[in-house]
Structure 1
């Protein structure tokens, strides 16, 4: 299970690694509660990142960027002008349209050819080493 592999990386931390892994798992093995915790985290994380990006863009547009040189920036400062918002929306729409076109026109373009090999339960795949 992916949760076992990822969380076992925490066991490499000296002194507290084993206790940290048991705390993450909620016991001595990965069970249903652990999997539900990880699935919900993986579902919520993209929304949290999107909200953080939107808040970041909002504050950058309101206050302006950092000015470490002390150059007067109030001369041509336009607070949250529609041009900046329009630029960001156009960039987002272009990026999403390119991604959607790639996904809809050629869905297997970024996939791995090994995913199309029929599985044989009697033979271990060659990429899995003992």
Structure 2
């Protein structure tokens, strides 16, 4: 199977509130809008909020988290605070070496903002 493109698709309970969160709170650029949906750029992927097909009451929450890499975690945290976005967990270095900060979107999805330090194995060329 050949995958040509991918994106994360959310069906928020309150479409307008979630668009405002991703557009104004996080400051993501809009890739495109269509009748009932907005697609945002998020690095090498896209986040789509669909205002149609909203989850039924009692639907299980998103089973995971959205991992978003940033260049400077401290600057990202400050920018989010300035925009009024609550920080669920302040930035800190994890035992595995990454710097991470957590934010929760209006539907309870955990967004993990990650800075990869210069000396981290993710930055090394593993081709030998």
- TM bucket (normalised to shorter chain) is under 0.3
Higher helix share: 1
TM-score normalised by structure 1 residue count: 0.21
Q: Which has the higher strand share?
A: 2
Task: Say which one has the larger Rg.
Answer: 1
The normalised TM-score by structure 2 is: 0.21
Which of 1 and 2 has higher RCO (CA within 8 Å, sep 6+)?
2
